Every structure is written in structure tokens, then in C-alpha cells.
Amino acid sequence: MSDSDDSMDNVRVNKVNKKGKSQKLPEEIEDIRTRVNVGRYAPTQVATMSFHSTFNSNGYDNSFELGEFKEEFDIQIQKCTDEELVFDMIGIDAPVANAFRRILLSEVPTMAIEKVVISNNTSIVQDEVLAHRIVNTTPQTTDQVQVQGAPAPTASNFVPSLQNKDVVAWTPPEQMMDNEYLLFKLDVKCEARKEPNKLNDNQEEHVNHKVYSGQLEWVPIGNQKKWFKGEKVVRPVYNDILLAKLNPGQEISLECYCVKGTGKMHAKWSPVATATYRMLPEVTFKKSIKGADAKLLKSTCPMNVFDIEDDRAVTARPRDCTVCRECLRPDGFEHKIRVSLLKQHFVFSIESVGQMVAKEIFREALKIFYEKCHASRNALNESREFAKNRNKATVLK
């Protein structure tokens, strides 16, 4: 049995009404509720049916039940590396999945370069272009650090600086707080002599002919030297990002100031290169496909979803299906194959830019999602209390 078959069993749950009687929708209605049907020309059954009275005529209570949600909800990790996390989130609707995706993209805080103060630049690259390259192409690592058993300031608790933020001629504050800024310096001069460049496959070239992100030097402020040390020292994520090219005699001297921010302020603060989700595909056979048709089906699918066993086509890798519908295009195949998507089974993919490990981004997003739910509940309770008090006041009058 494939993963999609297991998910199908999880989704089809009998409800019990207040009188203790089992509730079950007719099979064709249950299919409309739980699946998107991918036809040869267009998808159907795309609506999310979450309204409590949607199936009243069938005697089915479609209300949200916390106990049922806890039973059905599940997270299954499919792939986990420092750069990428792929997991299934089962038992939620599309609006919830999309809310979580938006949090991953725009609300998980990180550190990024906000201001560049250039004191000398004799290169061919204009000041504003050089600053733009440094700001938007050089993510910094400041993730989880433990010092003597206590959490040190990280991207999650650095305070965003608003001082002089909108002033064009920005100048650094006289006293910089160690929980507010990260400081990097770049001071390079191209020399006529040549030597191997480690950042360019040891090719012989003028010293500092090419300026890379790895040449940005972190300058600790206050207690930062104690907080960030060893493998957790603050540094650019990638050392080989080309920032500028210099000729002998040209030089660059500048300072970069990093502050905390989120992706909704600017994309440079987003911790993910991409965060996507898709509904899990389900490929089933209405009729058996054998012989030459089976070989045709296998060759037609660009994602190699099908195999042939005992001269009959079988679904071997349904997760790889991209719903391209090529398998439905040969004459007669649309009546033999059904491609659908499970409405409450989402496959998430998180690709980290590098500031944070992918699984840490996931954890931070879960915390933010929980805080949002908690704030919404408190707001509802407050509005309910306000309505009660207003009604009491009206009665007294």
C-alpha cells in the first residue's frame, strides 16, 4: 500500500453526533470533501469545505472538533539536512498551510546588513552599487549559541535599531549596544604582486584583485566576543561571493552594520531561499492497464511514477507526481487512470539561505504560529467580555 493510501485512510474518519450515532458521508460526497480531482483539461472539486453546515442535508456535522483534529494531525519528516527540510503536514486545510508558509517567508527574524558606511572606494564599482551588493548578497550566521548554560543574544532576541534609520546621511551611534548591532569591516588594497588566491581555486592573480564576502571581518561589540566564539563565531555564510574587482593601487574601506529584521521588512532578512507546499498527489487505476498500453504509460510519464509488474502498470512513486497530466492525454487513458490531490495532506519544503539550520527555521515558525493563535484567542475572549459588559450596562439603563 502506498503512502497516499495510508493518508486516504487517515482522512476518511467517521464522526459521532451528540446522540452517539456514527456519521458517514456517501462515498462520492466524501471524495468531493477530501480530494481535488485532476482532470485531463482542468482540476475540479477544488473548494475547501470547512463550513459546519455544508453537509447538513446528509446528516453530517462538519464542525471543527479539537479532539478529532488532535487525532488526525501529524507531521512526518521526509528529509532533514542543514540546508533543506521536507516534511508532510497532515490534517490541516489550505488556509492554515498557507499561513504557515507566509510565516516561514516573512516573520522568522534574522540578522542582515542594514547600513554600509564607505570611507574610501577607489574601485570602478560605484558606492551605491557596492553597498547594494554587500547588503543583498551576504547573509550572516548568528544562530543558536549557548554560553555557560545560558542562551546568548541571537537573531531571535537582538533588538532592531530604529535610530536614524530613515536619515540619508546615516552615522553610527556613539555607543553601540552589543544586543543591537553586529559590525563588519572591510579594508582591502590591490597590490601589483601576484600570489595564489584560495577563494578562486588558487589561481595566480594580483593580491586582492577580487574582493570576496569572506574578507568581511567581524568586529565584536561589548560582550559579543564571549557570546559568539569557536564554531559559532559570527561570519558571512558564504566566503566566495564576489563583491568587487580591483586593479593595482585601488582600495576599499568600509563598515557594515547588521540589525535584526524580518522578511516582510525586506527580503534580505528572510531565512529561506524558498518555502513551498503542495498537496500530496494520489494516482489510482480505475481499470487495469496491461501490455503495450502499460509500456506506453510508463514512457509517457516524465517523472517515472509508474512501473510494470506482471505485465501490468502500477503506481510505484506517487510522491514524485507533478500533476502534469501527461498520463491522461493518450486516448482512453483518462477513463483508466485517476489523478487526485489530498486536500488535507501537504508536502512542505524549506530551503535555508544559511543564517539558520532548516529545522531551526521550522521551530521558530511554529513558535510564531502558536503566538498568533494565542493572541487571536485572547482577542476573542476580550471582545466577548466587552460584549457582556455592554449588555449588562444596557440592561441597567
Does residue 150 have a pLDDT over 70?
A: no
Ranking 109-118, 291-300, 370-379 by mean pLDDT, the lowest is 109-118
Most trustworthy range by pLDDT among 228-232, 238-242, 263-267, 307-311: 307-311
Q: Which of 158, 195, 154, 164 is nearest to 357 (CA)?
A: 154
- Taking alpha carbons only, the member of 382, 289, 385 closest to residue 332 is 289
Read off the DSSP letter of residue 286. Answer: S
Bridge partners, residue 255, by sequence: 117, 185
Question: Mean pLDDT over residues 216-232, rounded?
Answer: 85
Assess whether pLDDT exceeds 50 at residue 148: no
Within 8 A by CB and 6+ apart from 293, the residues are: 313, 330, 333
pLDDT at residue number 146 = 30
Whether the pLDDT of residue 299 is over 90: the answer is yes
Alpha carbons 165 and 173: distance in angstroms, whole number:
11
Q: pTM for this structure? A: 0.81
DSSP labels, 56-97? GGGT------HHHHHHH-EEEEEEE-SSEEEEEEES--HHHH
One-letter amino acid identity for 83?
E
> Which residue, 213, 198, 207, is CA-closest to 251?
207
- Cα 110 from chain centroid? 14
Burial 292-316 (b: 16+ CB within 10 A, else e): ebbeebbebbebebbebeeeebbbe
Q: Can you tell me the distance from the alpha carbon of 32 to that of 44, in angstroms, rounded to the nearest whole number?
A: 9
DSSP string spanning 253-277?
A: EEEEEEEEE-TTT-GGG-SEEEEEE
φ/ψ region of 148 (left if φ > 0, alpha if ψ in -120 to 50, else beta) reads: left
On average, the pLDDT of the chain sits at 84
Higher pLDDT, 193 or 200: 193
92: CB partners within 8 A, 6+ apart: 73, 344, 346
Distances (CA, A) of 267 to 9, 82, 166, 335: 40, 21, 18, 46
- Whether 155 shows a pLDDT value over 60: the answer reads no
> Can you tell me which residue has the cell 469545505?
49
What integer pLDDT is reported at residue 18 of this predicted model?
43
Mean per-residue pLDDT, 28-42: 91
Report the SS3 class of residue 155: coil
- The predicted model gives 279-284 an average pLDDT of 95
Angstrom distance (rounded) from CA 55 to CA 221: 62
Q: Is the pLDDT confidence value at 162 over 70?
A: no
Instruction: Look up residue 115 and give its three cell numbers.
Output: 547600513
Cα–Cα nearest to 177, from 196, 160, 194, 199: 160
Where does the pLDDT of residue 387 fall: very low under 50, low under 70, confident under 90, or very high at 90 and above? confident
Report which of residues 164 and 352 the model is more confident about: 352
How far is 12 from 25, CA to CA, in rounded Å?
9
The span from the CA of 239 to the CA of 21, in Å, is 65
Say whether pLDDT at 144 is over 60: no
pLDDT score, position 197: 80
Q: How far is CA 334 from CA 84, 287, 322, 338, in A?
A: 36, 10, 17, 7
Dihedral angle sign, alpha carbons of residues 333, 336, 337, 342: positive
For residues 74 and 371, give the distance between their C-alpha atoms in angstroms, rounded to a whole number: 20
